[in-house]
Structure 1
């Protein structure tokens, strides 16, 4: 099984998947190697990037809160509703912070933040502007918060105390994700390994940020991108080139040659 993060890993800085990857995927498929895309993105946004192979792969979306194959839900771990108001109360006073309530089928964003909505279109293909996020009902997979400057410096210190009851992950330079304690990529991947009978010695995992740490720890073959966070570089057993220098593709070529 090959598992890769999306942004900063499989996707280049222009948020594109290379043609070379799609060629290598066909070779993996011919050798009966399962492929899993694991991302903080919503499911629809992941599918949009991997449309050509969407029926042949497994999607771990929303940082592990939602796992789907051929549009069929394999695993769902929503955030308990009691925490949504608490998180929104903590985020609201932070300047330049934009919370996104991520449902299974759509995301709910403050409709007054027009500039942020334009930015959001890269990461969310299905979203609904609302006037009051407190009034949103239904299952929420996670709360993603974007900060204009740095999520690690400006948001994490304000929500770090929630880590005793929730999963709090800095998932990118501008993003932090807050979810159910079991809603992380490692938990989702462990379930997939059990379902498909894949051992750690049969697992190749790529990542670049802190929300990839748990799944990297499961693999005998864990790979950090050159552009990865230092925590990822310390955790991964191997390193590759950056996401702009075909880092994932270079390792897959070696795997296929072996």
Structure 2
């Protein structure tokens, strides 16, 4: 099967646990691109800290970001599609986070906002540094004119599990997903990586069976099941592996490169 589009999650999939893109994986993606496969990074990150990986590899095209809420063109950084989030409905969620000491941020396509950027805990500062983001002071709703993309809660695994259990009892007007052990994301109810990938593929005339998707977490399931070939990383939870067609090596073993060499470069 010739795959015309390869959709790749970034953290826990493309990158190893040190947030590194290895030379072996990079060269593999460049080779696949030269053979005609379009590489589309599909991340919970925003365009600002996803596009640089494409630029580093000399690749153009598109990135699907904020878990599908924002699709951007690499070279121009133009937003070609977005599922805008209703900010007014977030107030009960924000009140809950403030009352229960749950760190949160609010994302536009290219901006990330927090309550007090100058007083962030060390673990939160390190998280933003790893994701190459500089948080800004959250303005009032009236002063936040740009459409919202995503709301994210961040904290220890046990805290995030408890928060998710609580919010699942609420009648939230959002799509809620876990993009990692320490993150809960709220987005437009129609937003997901799978929905954004479907929309992009339709605009390019690419059928699902001509798409290969690789991911490692719950927020990747929609794109793994949409693509003709869905591949889970070995470091994925069992539910993600069950949703995929096959499992490759872990992100620390360059599983993306091995899967592409097997199915696209035909190196076995």
C-alpha distance 133-208 of structure 1, shift in aligned 2 (>3 A) = farther
TM-score by length of 1: 0.92
1:52 equivalent among 56, 78, 81: 56
Equivalent-residue separation in structure 2 for 1:213 and 1:110 (angstroms):
31
Partner of 2:173: 165
TM-fit CA distance, 1:54: 5.9
Q: Please provide the CA RMSD for this pair.
A: 2.0
Partner of 1:67: 71
Matched, 1:104 2:109: yes
Matched, 1:77 2:86: no
C-alpha distance 174-19 of structure 1, shift in aligned 2 (>3 A) = same
Q: Give the 5 Å matches for 1:1-258.
A: 1-53=5-57, 55-69=59-73, 70=75, 71-95=77-101, 97-111=102-116, 112-115=119-122, 116-130=124-138, 137-138=144-145, 139-150=147-158, 152-162=160-170, 165-255=173-263, 256-257=265-266
- Give the length in aligned residue pairs: 256
C-alpha distance 163-52 of structure 1, shift in aligned 2 (>3 A) = farther
C-alpha distance 126-209 of structure 1, shift in aligned 2 (>3 A) = same
TM-fit CA distance, 1:148: 2.4
C-alpha distance 127-113 of structure 1, shift in aligned 2 (>3 A) = closer
TM-fit CA distance, 1:56: 1.4
C-alpha distance 133-250 of structure 1, shift in aligned 2 (>3 A) = farther
The CA deviation string for residues 53-81 of structure 1, in whole angstroms up to 9 with x for no partner, is 36513211111111011212111112112
Equivalent-residue separation in structure 2 for 1:80 and 1:100 (angstroms):
15
**Structure 1 stretches of 5 or more lacking a match?**
none
Is contact 1:47-1:54 (8 Å) kept? no
TM-score by length of 2: 0.88
Equivalent-residue separation in structure 2 for 1:225 and 1:15 (angstroms):
16
**Structure 2 stretches of 5 or more lacking a match?**
none
Equivalent-residue separation in structure 2 for 1:52 and 1:181 (angstroms):
33
